[in-house]
Structure 1
Amino acid sequence: MRGGIPRSPGRIFAWGMAGLVMLWLTAPVLVLLPLSFSGRRSFRFPPDTWSLRWYENFFTDSTWHASLLTSLKVGLLSTAASMILGTMAAFALHKLYFSGKAFVTGFLLAPMIFPGVVSAIAIFGVYLTWHISGTLTGFVAAHTVLSLPFVIVSVRSALRIFDWELEKAAASLGASPFETFRLVTLPLILPGVLIGGLFAFVISFDEVVVSLFLQTPFVRTLPVQMYLSVTESIDPTVAAASTIIVIVTVASILISMLFWQKRKTSDA
């Protein structure tokens, strides 16, 4: 290898395949971005005229910006709830030993692997009984259930490398259990909690299947509005909305990666 470039045929082939996969995954985004600046009411690619009219429509049309605000409210509230509940659950699973622990762990992580439509039907059936379908409370509760496993996994990973002798040292100096957690444990596992919260927000902000079952004309998230826009009309505003979602998602992932890398560098 010279200058960081792989020279063996096997490595060249591997890098070439990796590049093709990356191109295949990013191609829709590369098409989507120009469409969001099209000056015509069509999905013609490449656009022959350019305009910001669809971004203007996104932020001025009551239907679109109301769905964006709903997604942000649901995302932030469900993220806060999942961070609190997920941290508590991760502590319980890490520190407590009881029969059926494997079952409880699998139950808490099940939303991560269940098909979305199965979860949607189950949640919708329960919500009809509880009369909270189509309410902000119902959306927040459903999104919390879906994002909770990601916080649990992230916090448990942080707890595995936590030095528990620090808690014993704090207790020996007279700190109460709550003070030990607030002043010693939480600051050290905070990166895991925040990364789990970022993933929880992304999961909530992008979720469409469960939200499609719970939506009403008055409470509707942005992904649901995008789905309805595509199926009911030809409106390039959906391209602008999609671009905004991609930017929010990528920014959240990059922030989590940079934060984690900075934490690892400072610890080293």
Structure 2
Amino acid sequence: MTSAPRTSRPVDVGRIAWVALLVLLLSFLIVPIFIIVPISFGSERFLQFPPRDLTLYWYGKFFTDPDWQAATLFSLKVAAITMLSAVVVGTLAAVAMVRGFKSGQRAVTALTLTPIIVPNIVLGVALYLSYAPIGLTGTLTGFVIAHTSLAVPFVVLTVSAALHRTDPALELAAINLGANKLTAFVLITLPLIAPAMAIAAVFAFLVSFDEAILSFFLSGVSNKTLPRMLFENIDFDISPLIPAVATVLMSVSLLLMSSSQLLKRRKGKVGNGGSE
């Protein structure tokens, strides 16, 4: 008994072309980022790829230089306060959008998501013109307000998605048993959306820590964020110190993004366990 002849599948030239184009575009975006890392370990006083010898000198200079230390600490301080304020404001806005009055839902949504739509350079000009007359430029308060406005939309989107997945009947049951609305929210809903709030906090920290455009408009002589300091030194410093600083920024971002992914997986496992 003879077997049927095998027919070869036709080659999908169009699909291969799209995959090749995708790989080319991703390589164009990603490869320059990873080239920065080996350059930062170069021993020469100028940028060279590949580096002849490897050294940690430029990382040591970054962590010991007073100006870079001040910029790093200021960025961390701004990002930490921004994270806390954005989580509080964004969570309240998300609750108002999902569980609040339906008549004002569109207005709250438009107000909280506007910073995502408006270009950062336009927002920077507007904030500078608003801050300059009242002396908020170059201050910690000014940076926190500006960065919070950028971070709140990410918190709203993340927490809103979590609120849509929670059952409002749980709160109603607690209220029927004698709890007021605030107590029911704190004891029932808040623990359910806590993982989403933690993920939103990571995004808020990253938005603030990596923000560069607003920093150009808001930085003063003394208070400069790390991205602003980085861009200032690019103009006249061609040493591997700049790639070293960029690598540190990238490492912090990757570390926080990895932690947010772990929180997502843990949240998914908890949700699946609860549904079972």
Q: If the length of structure 2 is used for normalisation, what is the TM-score? A: 0.89
Q: Which amino acid aligns with 1:91?
A: V
Question: For residue 243 of structure 1, what is the aligned residue in structure 2?
Answer: 247
1:70-85 to 2 correspondences below 5 Å? 70-85=74-89
Q: Which amino acid aligns with 1:207?
A: E
Q: Deviations over 1:33-79 (max 9, x none)?
A: 01110101111111112211110001000011111111100001001
Tell me, in whole angstroms, the C-alpha distance in 1 between the residues paired with 2:133 and 2:162.
38
Question: For residue 52 of structure 1, what is the aligned residue in structure 2?
Answer: 56
Question: For residue 97 of structure 1, what is the aligned residue in structure 2?
Answer: 101
1:233 partner SS: coil
1:184 partner SS: helix
Asked if the contact 2:96–2:105 (Cα under 8 Å) also holds between the matched residues in 1, the reply is no
Asked if the contact 2:171–2:184 (Cα under 8 Å) also holds between the matched residues in 1, the reply is yes
Question: For residue 140 of structure 2, what is the aligned residue in structure 1?
Answer: 136
Tell me, in whole angstroms, the C-alpha distance in 2 between the residues paired with 1:103 and 1:90.
12
Q: Unaligned regions of 5+ residues in structure 2, if any? A: 1-9
Question: Quick check: 1:118 aligned with 2:96?
Answer: no
Tell me, in whole angstroms, the C-alpha distance in 1 between the residues paired with 2:15 and 2:265.
27
Question: Quick check: 1:164 aligned with 2:152?
Answer: no
Question: Quick check: 1:223 aligned with 2:211?
Answer: no
1:160 is displaced (CA, Å) by 0.9
Question: For residue 30 of structure 2, what is the aligned residue in structure 1?
Answer: 26
Q: In terms of mean alpha carbon deviation, does 66-75 or 176-185 score higher?
A: 176-185
1:250 partner SS: helix
2:212 alignment partner, one of 200, 208, 212:
208
Tell me, in whole angstroms, the C-alpha distance in 2 between the residues paired with 1:195 and 1:210.
24
Q: Which amino acid aligns with 2:173?
A: A
1:118 is displaced (CA, Å) by 0.2
Q: Which amino acid aligns with 1:176?
A: N
Tell me, in whole angstroms, the C-alpha distance in 2 between the residues paired with 1:205 and 1:75.
5
Q: If the length of structure 1 is used for normalisation, what is the TM-score? A: 0.92
Q: In terms of mean alpha carbon deviation, does 231-240 or 197-206 score higher?
A: 231-240
Q: Which structure is larger by alpha-carbon Rg, 1 or 2?
A: 2
Tell me, in whole angstroms, the C-alpha distance in 1 between the residues paired with 2:78 and 2:260.
20
RMSD between aligned residues? 1.7
1:8 is displaced (CA, Å) by 6.4
Q: Deviations over 1:88-113 (max 9, x none)?
A: 01111112235453233112101112
Asked if the contact 2:159–2:200 (Cα under 8 Å) also holds between the matched residues in 1, the reply is yes
1:182 is displaced (CA, Å) by 1.8
1:161-200 to 2 correspondences below 5 Å? 161-200=165-204
1:30 is displaced (CA, Å) by 1.7
Tell me, in whole angstroms, the C-alpha distance in 2 between the residues paired with 1:90 and 1:23.
37
Q: In terms of mean alpha carbon deviation, does 160-169 or 18-27 score higher?
A: 18-27
1:40 partner SS: coil
Tell me, in whole angstroms, the C-alpha distance in 1 between the residues paired with 2:94 and 2:11.
45
Alpha carbons of structure 1 residues 32 and 219: separation in structure 2 relative to 1, 3 Å: same
1:232 partner SS: coil
Question: Quick check: 1:257 aligned with 2:261?
Answer: yes
1:212 is displaced (CA, Å) by 1.0
Q: Unaligned regions of 5+ residues in structure 1, if any? A: 1-6
1:141-152 to 2 correspondences below 5 Å? 141-152=145-156
Asked if the contact 1:151–1:193 (Cα under 8 Å) also holds between the matched residues in 2, the reply is yes
Q: Report percent identity of matched pairs.
A: 37
Asked if the contact 1:93–1:105 (Cα under 8 Å) also holds between the matched residues in 2, the reply is yes
1:63 partner SS: helix
1:266 is displaced (CA, Å) by 2.3
Question: For residue 106 of structure 1, what is the aligned residue in structure 2?
Answer: 110
